[in-house]
Amino acid sequence: MFILGAGLSWLVLLLLLIVGVGILVFIIKSLLFFLPPAIVALAVYYLTSDLTLTGIAFIVVVFLMLVLRR
């Protein structure tokens, strides 16, 4: 009975590690996807100091990345 419990705990630990690594990979890929639009938005804000234009620039760059990626 002890061997079955230890094997089950190792299986749960392995499953949780796989899920954790998957979540980390998703977060890192999301950050890398939003990095270029954030840089463009920062440049627009630096040049204009207008939050509306900054938001529009961010949305336009994200849209272009989504359209041109496929």
Residue 4, amino acid: L
Give pLDDT, residue 1: 46
Q: Which domain holds residue 56?
A: 2-69
Neighbours of 54 (CB within 10 A): 19
pLDDT tens, per residue, the chain with 70 residues: 455 567 777 888 889 999 999 999 999 999 999 999 999 999 999 999 999 999 999 999 999 999 998 6
How many Å apart are CA 46 and CA 42, to the nearest integer? Answer: 6
Q: CB–CB of 56/42 below 8 Å?
A: no
Six token digits for residue 5: 């419990």
Six token digits for residue 16: 């949780």
Domain count for the chain, please give it: 1
Give pLDDT, residue 13: 86
